[in-house]
Amino acid sequence: MKSLISKLKKKGQALNIIGATVIGFMILIFMIFAVLYGISALKPSSFFMTDSAEANTTADLTRNLTAGVSTFGSYIPTVLTVLAVVLVLAGIAILILYVRRMNGGGEGIGGL
């Protein structure tokens, strides 16, 4: 009975680690966007401009940041598609393993 409980705890720990990792990445991405938004909100204003060279530098920073955010944003659908495919494949692998265990180990069955 103890071995069954320890196996269940290990499975739960793996799912907790995966969940925490996904949440951590989501928080990291949110923080990156929050910082980029904060920086992009610093558009040229009288607070930052003391002469025309600094005004041009601030304007250039705003343009570069906007271009960088749009370039990064264009990669998001591709990354999410890859993640979806990985999750689907992981789900299929987990289902195969679960079915094999329910069938008594499946010694005569090929595959995973």
Q: Which residue in this structure is represented by tokens 């987990």?
A: 94
Nearest-angstrom CA–CA distance, 106 and 102: 9
CA 24 to chain centre: 8
**How far is it, in rounded angstroms, from Cα 103 to Cα 95?**
12
- Give the amino acid at 83: L
Angle 92-97-102 from CA coordinates, rounded to 5°:
125
State what percent of residues in the chain have pLDDT above 70.
68
Q: Is the pLDDT of residue 26 over 80?
A: yes
Q: Is the model more confident about 101 or about 50?
A: 101
Given a cut of 70, whether residue 59 has pLDDT beyond it is yes
Query: Domains of the chain: which residue ranges?
Result: 2-73
The one-letter code for the residue type at 78 is T
pLDDT digits (tens, 9 = 90+) for 28-37: 888 888 887 7
Lowest mean pLDDT among 9-23, 34-48, 83-97: 34-48
- CA separation for the pair 108, 98 (Å, rounded): 16
pLDDT at 69 over 70: yes
Q: Give me the pLDDT at residue 61, please.
A: 80
